[in-house]
Amino acid sequence: MKDLALHILDILQNSVTSGSTLVKLQIDEIPSKDEYLVKFIDNGKGMDAEMVQHVTDPFFTTRTTRKVGLGLPLLKQNAERTGGRMMIQSEPGKGTEVDVMFVFSHIDRLPAGDIAGTMALTVSSYPAIDFTYTHNTPDGSFIFNTIEIKETLGDLPINNPQVITFMKDFISDNLKEIKAS
């Protein structure tokens, strides 16, 4: 994966396919502690302790179409490459939380990439699922919430091409405003 946005696009799919109705993404940039935190929280079917241990194994996947599953292992590798870490907490029936920490100042920390595009594409592909995306930097906070968007839209579908373009601009403008790195 070339940037963080592609990892996010990938990991959000895990949450989406686990039967979640609400998927949360939170990014905290904390240069004072030299941390860049990415958190995925869903309310899907969750995993038992044994499965949690296995998901970072590249030869583990729930898919039946192929025998490898690289989403989480690649993200873990990229986090650890900066001196960071990945932690997974999950409870069957409750949901899953994936916490990733990158060392902020490390040269190998991936560039953020097009997070706005990632969110717009994911949100529009799964109209029945609600998403929130919170991004905190020392300069401010931005919260993107599809519940709010859908309320404004009324019966206009969230996968209308012009709405997708709006969401991209809305997120990227606000990320610029809080000086997201």
Partner 1 sequence: MSKITSLADLRNIKANVEAKMSLRERSESPESMVQIRVAMATCGIASGAKIVMDYMINELDKRNIPAVVTQTGCMGYCYAEPTIEVTRPGHQPLVFGYVDAKKADQIIGKYIMNGELLDGIIPVNYENIEGK
Residues 137-166 that bind partner 1 (CB under 8 A): 148-149, 152-154, 156, 159-166
Tokens 């916490």 map to which residue? 99
How many of the chain's residues bind partner 1 (CB under 8 A)?
Answer: 41
Using CB under 8 A, pick the residue from 87, 177, 179, 181 that binds partner 1.
Answer: 177
Interface with partner 1 (CB under 8 A), residue from 32, 50, 65, 107: 65
The residues, any chain, with a CB within 8 Å of residue 106's CB and separated by 6 or more, are 81, 82, 83, 84
What are all long-range contacts of 68-74, with beta carbons under 8 Å and residues at least 24 apart?
Answer: 71/10, 71/11, 71/13, 71/14, 72/11, 72/14, 72/98, 74/1, 74/7, 74/10
Binding pattern for the stretch 88-117 against partner 1, x by CB under 8 A and - elsewhere? --------------------------x--x
Burial class (CB in 10 A: 0-12, 13-18, 19+), 131: buried
* 74 binding partner 1? (CB under 8 A): yes
Interacting residues toward partner 1 by CB under 8 A: 1, 6, 9-10, 13, 17, 63-66, 69-71, 74, 114, 117-118, 121-122, 124-126, 148-149, 152-154, 156, 159-166, 169-170, 173-174, 177
